Structure 1
Amino acid sequence: MGLFTEAEIAYLQKQRLGRLATVTKTGNPHVVPVSFLYNPEFESIDIVGRTLPTSLKYKNIVINGRVAFVVDDIASLSPYLARMIEIRGYAEIVLRDENDPLPHALEMSLEMRRTIARNVAPEMIRIRAKRIISAGLGSNPLSMSRRTIADDGSVTEARTPLQPIQFDAEK
């Protein structure tokens, strides 16, 4: 197994909107919604944008690469089932490949990827996980997984059962 489980990868590949938290130079949190893609080559989250180099998130990452990234949704209201993945780690600024700027966006044609690339900055944010927390994903949606990635790449995992949320019938 790599850093992410098959269920987490499938979830990330179906979602397009997440929340990126960075740390400002004064130590305050800064959270923004961002479009993203899971990059299987680097087991990373890649974020692009039109004005990325002028954004506060970009500037925060240049100063302090510590980030948290969350993707979540509600899969069902009855029974209630929320799904989420939180990735804590470090982000770096990298340059995209101009010939194939988003090679891991498999659902897009090369022409579409190149069109997008012409409309976004050449720099992108790449998030590398040091901690992954997920819930509501996989064969047991009532389970939470917590994994820590050491500097040598080794992974330790803990799983916790979740209690189902019961709602009283409407009166």
Structure 2
Amino acid sequence: MTLTPEQVEYLNSQTLGRLATVDRHGAPQNNPVTFRYNPELGAIDIGGHNLGASRKFRNLAGNNWVAFVVDDIASYQPWRVRCLEIRGRAETLSVAEPLRPGFSTELIRIHPDRILDFGLTAHGAAAPERPQ
């Protein structure tokens, strides 16, 4: 599945997302992560400090299905929320160029199977109502 130019532009404007994985007992885990869009592969690369020793990295050995979300509040007046959710399969790479200086050489790469978004364009789906 391929991201649209609007989705790629949004990803490139953000630095923090949330990665949901599932452990070997079926328990979900959701963590904030830093990422970059990989245009050559149409994938999302996730890095971090000592990523290979993390629970999310280990979770992928038993179940490589993931959900990845990037969202923000584009404006408060008017209320405008943007969100991009990518579901797909992830692979773990143990010898990769670090995503950022000081990060480990391990990487999680997400290959999208399903992409959902709202609020990324003026003509896109309406954002949810602002909570009271």
**TM over 0.5, shorter chain:** yes
Determine whether 1:90 maps to 2:89: yes
Q: Which amino acid counterpart does residue 24 of structure 2 have in structure 1?
A: K
Q: CA RMSD in A?
A: 2.2
Which secondary structure state, in structure 2, belongs to the residue aligned with residue 132 of structure 1? strand
Q: Which residue of 1 aligns with 2:115?
A: 132
Contact in 1 for aligned 2:22/2:63 (Cα 8 Å): yes
1:42/1:163 CA distance change after superposition, 3 Å:
closer
1:15/1:124 CA distance change after superposition, 3 Å:
same
Which secondary structure state, in structure 1, belongs to the residue aligned with residue 116 of structure 2? strand
1:71/1:166 CA distance change after superposition, 3 Å:
closer
Determine whether 1:32 maps to 2:60: no
Q: Which amino acid counterpart does residue 52 of structure 2 have in structure 1?
A: P
Contact in 2 for aligned 1:8/1:138 (Cα 8 Å): no
* Map 1:135-154 → 2, pairs under 5 A: 135-141=118-124, 143=125
TM-score, structure 1 normalization: 0.70
C-alpha distance in 2, partners of 1:27/1:136? 32
Q: Report sequence identity in percent.
A: 45
Q: Which amino acid counterpart does residue 122 of structure 1 have in structure 2?
A: T
Q: Which residue of 2 aligns with 1:158?
A: none
Structure 2 stretches of 5 or more lacking a match? none
Contact in 1 for aligned 2:81/2:128 (Cα 8 Å): no
TM-score, structure 2 normalization: 0.89
Structure with bigger gyration radius: 1
* Map 1:105-116 → 2, pairs under 5 A: 116=101
1:31/1:163 CA distance change after superposition, 3 Å:
closer
Is 65-74 or 87-96 further displaced after alignment?
Answer: 87-96
Structure 1 stretches of 5 or more lacking a match? 103-112, 144-161
Contact in 2 for aligned 1:20/1:33 (Cα 8 Å): yes
C-alpha distance in 1, partners of 2:21/2:88? 10
* Structure possessing the higher relative contact order (Cα contacts under 8 Å, 6 or more residues apart): 2
